[in-house]
Amino acid sequence: MDSLLWVLHRLAIAQVAPGAIDNSFGDGEKIKELAAKFSAEDLQLYYQIGVKSRDELKFSRK
């Protein structure tokens, strides 16, 4: 879940500050391309769903 949230965070950053994308993984251009396919509102919604789900996973049975 944390990896998904990290990618969603990077996509949101790419939308508002494309020059701030860390390219140390070699995926900076791909992140920018993918970010253009989502609205800012959708990314925010997906991120919020992910955060809420991550928090609720703490209460699930193992």
Query: Does residue 48 belong to any structural domain of this protein?
Result: yes
Reported pTM: 0.87
Residue range 34-57, pLDDT digits in tens? 999 999 999 999 999 999 999 998
Does residue 7 fall inside a structural domain?
Answer: yes
Q: How distant, in Å, are the alpha carbons of 22, 25, 33, 38 from that of 51?
A: 22, 24, 24, 18
When pLDDT is averaged across residues 15-41 and rounded to a whole number, the result is: 96
Q: In this structure, is residue 9 part of a structural domain?
A: yes
Q: Could you give the CA distance from residue 8 to residue 60 in angstroms, rounded to a whole number?
A: 24
Q: Which residue shows structure tokens 């919020």?
A: 48
Judge whether 34 lies within some domain: yes
Residue 62 lies in a domain: no
Residue 31 resides in a domain: yes
Say which amino acid occupies 58. Answer: K
Mean pLDDT across the stretch 2-9? 96
pLDDT at 62 over 70: no
Average pLDDT over residues 19-36: 95
Q: How many distinct structural domains can be found in the chain?
A: 1
The whole domain housing 12 covers 2-18+25-55
* 6 part of a folded domain: yes
Q: What is the distance between the alpha carbons of residues 5 and 8, in angstroms, rounded to a whole number?
A: 5
